[in-house]
Amino acid sequence: MHVGIGLLRYWPPLCQGYDLSAHRWYVGVKFFDTRCRRLYIGLDTAPMTSNELDALAAETQRLSQWHMLLGELSACLWFTEDLPTMLHGFCKALVTRAGYLSAELELDLEEQSQVFKARVRHSNSPEAVQHATLPVSRFGTALAELRVSAEFALGVGHEAHGVLLRLTHELAEAIHALQGQHPYNDLQDSVEMLALSVQQSPYMVLFAKPSGEVVFCNDSYCKGSGYSTAEVIGQRMLVDLSTPSSEAELRMFNALKMGEHWQGDMQCRRKDGSEYWVRQIVSPLCDKAGNITHLVSVKQDISHCRFRLKDAEEALLLREQALSSSSNGIMITRSDVDDHSIVYVNPAFERITGYSASEVIGREGRFLLRDDLAQADLEEIRSALRERREGQAVLRNYRKDGTQFWNELHIAPVKDADGQHTTHFVSVINDATERVNYQKELEYQANHDALTGLANRNLLNDRIIQAIAWAKRQSLFVGIMLLDLDHFKLVNDASGHGAGDTMLKEVAQRLNSCVRETDTVARLGGDEFVLVLTDLPETGDVDVIAEKVLKALARPIEINGVDVFVTASIGVSVYPRDGDHGELLLRYADIAMYRVKEHGRNSVRQFIPEMGATAISRMNMEGAMRRGLERGEFALHYQPKIDLLTQRIVGAEALVRWNHPQIGLIHPIEFIPLAEESGLILPLGEWVLTEACRQQVAWLEAGLGALEMSVNVSARQFRQEDLAERVAQVVAATGIAPACLALELTESMVMQDVNSTLLALRTLKQLGLSISLDDFGTGYSSLSYLRRFPIDELKIDKSFINDVHVNEDDAAIAGAIIAMALSLGLRVVAEGVESQAQVDRLLAMGCTQVQGYLFGRPMDAASFVAKFQAGVRVFP
């Protein structure tokens, strides 16, 4: 049989077996729906024992008690009309029917500022052994709290605890249902209020059948259209969903048929024939089966603002067209703290970046940076976004194809209608790649040598400053190498400036190959180069690089099909050993380089403090030389010329010296090259000539006889077109006899332009003076030219005299020169004689005039007079 019992929702099924009349019966509860279940009893023909019959009797009594409890709880929860009664009844049922010692409920209604409490205790309550507190919750919201006590177990996991959880859930549903009853909320009143709201709405409202026939219109529609209600009802004034007759009705039909709203502007006609514009929304009303039963149209008369709306729309359209037509990229992004996603880009943005609008909408603009985030200007943009202000920067961005472009970015905040809050940012993107590249090219040209591409002096100074700053922080060394090509002028003079430029470019490449990328190679000008060596652990590392440079330059350079060899003199200074700033380090490297030139060139020397005590840096030398000429700091020393046969001084060679007020006596090798380059050799040479001539006349008047005064002429002086006129003026001004004046020219100087040299020499000879060819044997003179040139004297270079008494090759060369000169009727002077053995060998070869330390070093005028008066002894 089946018995229906009304149970609480979600009551757990009973699965106990019961025995009646010696047969086995099964009792259970079966679900009807979510609110009740069905009790079923089944019969099993298996016989039952006496123990099973006793148990069945006890369980039958328990089932009867539960049935009464459930019935009482159902009546309490679902048929009680006030909360206090329901709460008290719930607690009472637990105590009287379920065997609990006490039950207490507390309900706090915050919205009504009321607290409901219900408490029931057993009249003869023994000492409770178990207590439990359970929340009465609905969807996680606590409505009340249940506190119970009992003699049986109430802990989590016990049967009683599970039953209480189900009961509290049912209680929560009942409380919620009871709170939702509003006796004053009458349905009829709500309907009437809704009808009045529609009837009196300021908007026009129409209700129509699906066929479009109007079944209701409110007062606003009648007032706006001029029609009465009777004239409107029954008229087809909306779309017929069965047969749409126009394109507009078809669009409305498609929207409404899908159960969606339709909205738009339409032009209508009043009863008097006048036209007006309305903005309307049409919505479908559906029954429970989803079929459309009515259409609702809500209209607003917009005639009074249509022209303003049209103007606004045209203005918006104009702005949209302006954005679309702009040659600059436009990007609009949100301004939320955690959301700067793109909402709009114009066609120029697509053209510049290569990304379409659909590919970037929703992304943040920083995707254009890719991984190139180490850009200083980025911080300005980040700050502007945080502070919601304008900002600008020039950034490296990347197109869709990966190519880089320079983005001159301007961002500005967009405020809301009140101007109080920033809602968006507008970014203007200008492709500034061409301008930035042009600026870079200008900057490159301003900082690099046009011929070689190396750093120039401007960039060199900056690189030295950076290198020193880094070395100071890291406790490292910086090496400064100043390199000057040896005899580079000969290449220009012999092969032209084009050949010289070719050599300079090849030298630049070789120097770059000798250093690291972190080092700097610069060209100061002419044939001078500077190497800045950074991050050196030891000072000796500079010498390693210098030797590498010398080896690289030792390889021949092909110029116009001919192998040309070049060497270099290198001076080195080191930070912090020699100085702590670039100007000082360059000056010391320059001094060290000139020490190399003094000692044969093609070598390397590091600066030592002693060099600074006897030399002036070429950086300051030019100004000091000019001041020296003005202040009379230059003086002449004289080296005697000896006739071996008469054993007398027959002449003197005038040699210039510089008495610097701070440094002291400076040797010509330190300042003559700079004087040649700067042009100061011209006023200096003219002063030397004048002073030497004046001294010769003074000696003549003092009784020393008609000594011949030899004066060296520089290459730059010799190329002066008016050299003969200048010499003639000096001769006339000093009163020297032309026959007592000899001009010394180097062999390489007269062989550069033979025709011009021949003309200049003949012009000078017309003055009556003598011409001496100095350093003979080191150049490339030919006998034919010697025969053509009006030369009076040959001076054999000391390199052939040093070993003339012990080296047969040197003796053979010296002997050949002496024999050739004598055959041409020329005087011969041997330079650098320092021993008696050299004198003996030279006399044997026929050389009768000599100069050298054996007979006297260069000396001032007073010492020369004393030497002359003391006489000389050729043989001991």
Domain stops at, among 615, 646, 674: 615
Q: For residue 313, is pLDDT > 50?
A: yes
pLDDT of residue 17: 35
Q: For residue 182, is pLDDT > 50?
A: no
Q: What integer is the mean pLDDT of 439-467?
A: 85
Percent of the chain with pLDDT over 70: 82
The structural domain count of the chain equals 5
pLDDT of residue 638: 95
Q: For residue 242, is pLDDT > 60?
A: no
Q: For residue 579, is pLDDT > 70?
A: yes
Non-local (6+) Cβ contacts of 298 within 8 A are 203, 204, 205, 280, 281, 283
Residue 321 lies in a domain: no
Same domain, 480 and 596: yes
Residue 368 lies in a domain: yes
Residue 118 lies in a domain: yes
The domain that holds 426 is classified in CATH as 3.30.450.20
- Residue carrying the six token digits 């003869």: 124
Q: Which of 306-315, 566-575, 750-759 has the lowest mean pLDDT?
A: 306-315
Longest dimension (CA), the chain: 176
Higher pLDDT, 751 or 792: 792
* Of 712, 659, 651, 721, residue with least CA distance to 687: 712
Non-local (6+) Cβ contacts of 842 within 8 A are 644, 801, 804, 814, 818, 830, 833, 850
* Of 12, 46, 18, residue with least CA distance to 30: 12
pLDDT of residue 42: 42
Same domain, 215 and 139: no
Q: How many CB atoms lie within 10 A of CB 804?
A: 27
Q: What mean pLDDT value characterizes the chain?
A: 81
Same domain, 585 and 477: yes
pLDDT of residue 401: 92
Q: What angle do CA 256, 260, 264 make, to 5 degrees?
A: 75
Same domain, 675 and 806: yes
Q: Using an 8 Å Cβ cutoff, are 394 and 377 in contact?
A: yes
Higher pLDDT, 761 or 73: 761
Residue 442 lies in a domain: no
Query: How does residue 874 score in pLDDT terms, banded at 50, 70 and 90?
Result: low
Residue 224 lies in a domain: yes
pLDDT of residue 436: 85
The domain that holds 457 is classified in CATH as 3.30.70.270
* Of 17, 13, 26, residue with least CA distance to 52: 17
Residue 266: which domain range?
197-307
Domain stops at, among 418, 437, 456: 437
Same domain, 363 and 491: no
The domain that holds 787 is classified in CATH as 3.20.20.450
What is the C-alpha to C-alpha distance for residues 342 and 365, in angstroms, rounded to an integer? 7
Same domain, 593 and 474: yes
Query: Residues for the chain: how many in total?
Result: 876
Q: For residue 32, is pLDDT > 50?
A: no
Same domain, 587 and 723: no
Q: What integer is the mean pLDDT of 527-554?
A: 90
Residue 131 lies in a domain: yes
Can you list the alpha helix ranges (DSSP code H) found in 420-496?
Answer: 433-447, 457-474, 488-495
Query: Number of C-alpha atoms within 13 angstroms, CB side, residue 223?
Result: 13
Residue 739 lies in a domain: yes
pLDDT of residue 110: 56
pLDDT of residue 50: 61
Same domain, 433 and 453: no
Distance of CA 717 to the CA centre of its chain: 55
* DSSP per position, 810-842: HHHHHHHHHHHHHHTT-EEEE----SHHHHHHH
Same domain, 333 and 419: yes
Q: What integer is the mean pLDDT of 454-474?
A: 89
Same domain, 784 and 714: yes
* Of 402, 426, 405, 399, residue with least CA distance to 345: 426
Same domain, 300 and 334: no
pLDDT of residue 189: 63
Residue 320 lies in a domain: no
What is the C-alpha to C-alpha distance for residues 592 and 482, in angstroms, rounded to an integer? 9
Q: End-to-end distance of the chain based on CA atoms, in angstroms?
A: 164
pLDDT of residue 8: 34
pLDDT of residue 187: 55
Q: What integer is the mean pLDDT of 443-464?
A: 85
Helix axes 497-513, 541-554, angle to 10 degrees: 140
Higher pLDDT, 741 or 70: 741
Percent of the chain with pLDDT over 90: 26
How far apart, in Å, are the Cα atoms of 843 and each of 47, 232, 644, 807, 874?
A: 163, 149, 8, 16, 10
pTM for this model (two decimals): 0.39
pLDDT of residue 102: 87
Same domain, 724 and 859: yes
Domain stops at, among 570, 592, 615: 615
Q: Which of 178-192, 663-677, 814-828 has the lowest mean pLDDT?
A: 178-192
What is the C-alpha to C-alpha distance for residues 822 and 819, in angstroms, rounded to an integer? 5
pLDDT tens across 587-630, in order?
A: 889 888 888 887 778 889 888 876 765 555 555 777 888 888 88
